[in-house]
Amino acid sequence: MTSQTTKAGQTDRETPSADQIRRAPKVLLHDHLDGGLRPGTIVDLAREAGYEGLPETDPDKLGIWFREAADSGSLPRYLETFAHTCAVMQTKDALKRVAAECAEDLAEDGVVYAEIRYAPEQHLERGLTLEEVVEAVNEGFREGERRAKANGHRIRVGALLTAMRHAARALEIAELANRYRDLGVVGFDIAGAEAGFPPTRHLDAFEYLKRENNHFTIHAGEAFGLPSIWQALQWCGADRLGHGVRIIDDIQVADDGTVKLGRLASYVRDKRIPLEMCPSSNLQTGAATSYAEHPIGLLRKLHFRATVNTDNRLMSGTSMSREFEHLVGTFGYTLDDMQWFTVNAMKSAFIPFDERLAMINDVIKPGYAELKSEWLFRQTASTSASVDV
């Protein structure tokens, strides 16, 4: 049996199937805990908490509502959907359940390492302390890891503590992240509407984290442009950029295909600053117009340290596998491309170097090697079946 040739000389054995994409080891750096709940869990928790604000009480209809409400093309409107998920995440048991299910769902989707972010300050309405929120979420992640292992999957989950950029608790949350850095929390983040709330408002938090040799990422270059990225890097010292899609504004592509990078884009590429790119979410918030026009295609060609992420699995109706399916279908990516994105992400994780290296060499590369070899066995089986006995 010979392989059929697809576009650009690519053979069908090089194009991963949906099943291979799901089984491929994947690394997730940008995913919000309150943006990934199961619709059925939201309904259950709302009933237990007496929350009557849900727009739908049927899980299937509720899932559709979240996706449609998030498809507005506006980041502020997109962020409004979180009022419902946060409303049902105000007790220890609710936080544990949501965190455990998050780890389970990701592991089922082939994710082997994930950094999940959430804002502790948004879960205090029913009397929890910041510390109790963090401990409940950490306990849930550990439970989810155990359940995943029992189901034949492996995943490691770290938490990123997020401060809301429109509030004034960034230093307090940064100190919280530092206290729990050896207890399941791997770093810090700021999130929320970018316009009018520059990261420089929270310089005290970032200066504190740098003094403590701790890690942080900043949502930047999503709804706002290059100044947001510049401030995040040069004023605040971010290790990674959450989204960063607007870096494309500093890249010029001439009619003949030649590319010229501006000074900021060159800096981002030269310094290997990780870009936590979330294609489906970017389409919903208007940061990109289509998968084909999404900057990730050009940034991959130019060898920026781009990574693939989900952002909010509930609101986008997505998963890591679905994100890669879109990219494979749009750009013709192969398993080699998937491995490139995945290794980029693992290199950029906020865990120690030796642990990142072990994940790459002992989990990620062997996993992709096994997938890439499967066509040989399909070919052998087909040839054997065609031989007359």
Residue of 222, 276, 323, 325 with catalytic role = 222
CB 158 within 8 A of CB 186: yes
Task: Please state, in angstroms and rounded to a whole number, the distance separating the CA atoms of residues 118 and 306.
Answer: 22
Q: Hey, where are the domains in the chain?
A: 19-375
Task: Please state, in angstroms and rounded to a whole number, the distance separating the CA atoms of residues 347 and 337.
Answer: 15
Say how many CA atoms lie within 13 Å of 248 toward its Cβ. 20
Percent of residues, the chain, with pLDDT higher than 90:
83
Decide if pLDDT at 386 tops 80.
Answer: no
Task: Please state, in angstroms and rounded to a whole number, the distance separating the CA atoms of residues 113 and 30.
Answer: 11
Q: Is 131 a catalytic residue?
A: no
259-261/251-253 β-pairing: antiparallel
- CATH 3.40.50.720, applies to 19-375: no
Place of tokens 């401990």: 135
Q: Which residues pair with 278 in a beta bridge?
A: none
H helix intervals, the chain: 18-23, 39-49, 59-70, 75-80, 82-87, 92-108, 130-150, 170-179, 203-211, 226-230, 263-270, 279-285, 296-301, 313-316, 320-331, 335-347, 353-359, 365-386
Q: b/e per residue, 164-203, with b = 16+ CB within 10 A?
A: bbebebbbebbbbbbebbeebbbbbbbbbbbeebbbebbb
Per-residue pLDDT of 5-26, as tens digits, reads 344 445 556 799 999 999 999 9
Tell me the backbone φ, ψ of residue 85, rounded to 5 degrees. -70, -40
Say how many CA atoms lie within 13 Å of 299 toward its Cβ. 34
Q: What is the pLDDT of residue 212?
A: 98
Tell me the pLDDT of the chain averaged across its residues: 92
Residues 6+ apart with CB under 8 A from 34: 82, 85, 86, 89, 98, 118, 119, 122
What are the contacts of 209-212 at 24+ separation with CB within 8 A? 209/174, 209/177, 209/178, 210/237, 212/178
| Mean pLDDT of all residues in 23-43 | 98
| Mean pLDDT of all residues in 179-207 | 91
| Mean pLDDT of all residues in 157-186 | 96
For residue 196, what pLDDT band results from cuts at 50, 70 and 90? confident
Per-residue pLDDT of 88-136, as tens digits, reads 999 999 999 999 999 999 999 999 999 999 999 999 999 999 999 999 9
Per-residue pLDDT of 343-378, as tens digits, reads 999 999 999 999 999 999 999 999 999 999 998 887
- pTM for the whole structure: 0.93
Q: What is the pLDDT of residue 380?
A: 59
Q: What is the pLDDT of residue 8?
A: 47
